Structure 1
Amino acid sequence: MFSTLRNNKKGFTLIELMIVVVIIGILAALAIPRFMRASTKSKQSEAKAILKQIYVMEHAYRQEKDVYWPNGATATAIAGGAFADIGVEIGLTSRYTYSITGAPTVFLATANSTVLDDDATADTWTINDFGQLIVTSDDAAS
């Protein structure tokens, strides 16, 4: 009689459920940091693309005017803004603040963000008149 009652019980024991929860926790602990890093790297592609666009447009401006823009000054643009003199627009959802410092023969463009993820590490990229794209503070590395 007891053996027939045991065979009719269906379901999982508490130990089996706890093992499944532990396995899911381990997988989440491994996957979430990798996802955050990949997400940050995809957001960084925005800065790289805009900086490369600035580089191209600065050289076009120099071909026409014989100086880099803004000659002897610094210009800044945020989301929804633009560097109208060189034809670069910043998207409405941009996570970066862009600045360009120009002189007659050199320029330096910078993209800076502190909102890529929930930490305090800034993300800063620069490009110069040689086209060298340099990360000075990498939020994805932290």
Structure 2
Amino acid sequence: MKTKKDSTLKIPSYNLQEVLIVLVIVGVLLLLALPNLMPLISKTKSVEAQTQLKFIYNSQTTYRYMYSKYAQDLSEVDFEAPKTVNQNGTSNYNYELLTANNSSFKARATAITDFDGDGTFNVWEIDENGVPKQTVKD
């Protein structure tokens, strides 16, 4: 006949101290790796600006073919800027049309957050040549 002591099973597991030690080690490793990852994070976020500026370029080019001039306002080319993270959206940039006339235009994307915390905000521009250029590097 089995006694009460025989029916208890021991399940292998980790105690609280072991789990906390592992979490501390992972946290330290993350703190060591984070400064090296910041340029990569900044570069990834700048892809958004480049993509949106290329869309503005394509829209402006189409508008110029139709009306023989570049649009004076982004709403004329059906560009609606995505909501920024400040407005509960996902965009990290504000978009504006700086200049536009019959033969040229210039649009700018300015970061709304400082990606690496150095006080410099990333700025990209595009003109009638269609190549996004980083004017202020973050």
TM-score of the two chains, using structure 1 as the length reference = 0.66
Q: Which residue of 89, 108, 111 maps to 1:110?
A: 108
Partner of 2:120: 121
Partner of 1:53: 55
1:62–1:68: 8 Å Cα contact kept in structure 2? yes
Per-residue deviation, residues 85-114 of structure 1 (Å, max 9, x unmatched): 101122122221211120110001111114
State yes or no: 1:87 paired with 2:82: no
State how far apart, in whole Å, the 1-side matches of 2:93 and 2:76 are.
20
Partner of 2:137: 138
The percentage of aligned residue pairs carrying the same residue is 30
TM-score of the two chains, using structure 2 as the length reference = 0.68
State how far apart, in whole Å, the 2-side matches of 1:122 and 1:24 are.
28
Paired AA for residue 65 in structure 2: Q
Which stretch of the first structure deviates more once superposed, 39-48 or 61-70? 39-48
TM-superposed deviation, 1:35? 2.2
Select the structure that is richer in strand.
1
State how far apart, in whole Å, the 1-side matches of 2:56 and 2:111 are.
17
Q: Which residue of 31, 36, 39 maps to 1:37?
A: 39
TM-superposed deviation, 1:29? 5.0
Q: Which consecutive aligned stretches of 4+ in structure 1 deviate over 2 angstroms post-superposition? A: 27-30, 116-119
State how far apart, in whole Å, the 1-side matches of 2:79 and 2:34 are.
35
Per-residue deviation, residues 50-69 of structure 1 (Å, max 9, x unmatched): 00000000000000000011
1:43–1:116: 8 Å Cα contact kept in structure 2? no
TM-superposed deviation, 1:38? 1.8
1:127–1:133: 8 Å Cα contact kept in structure 2? yes
- SS of 1:32's equivalent in the other structure is helix
State how far apart, in whole Å, the 1-side matches of 2:35 and 2:101 are.
42
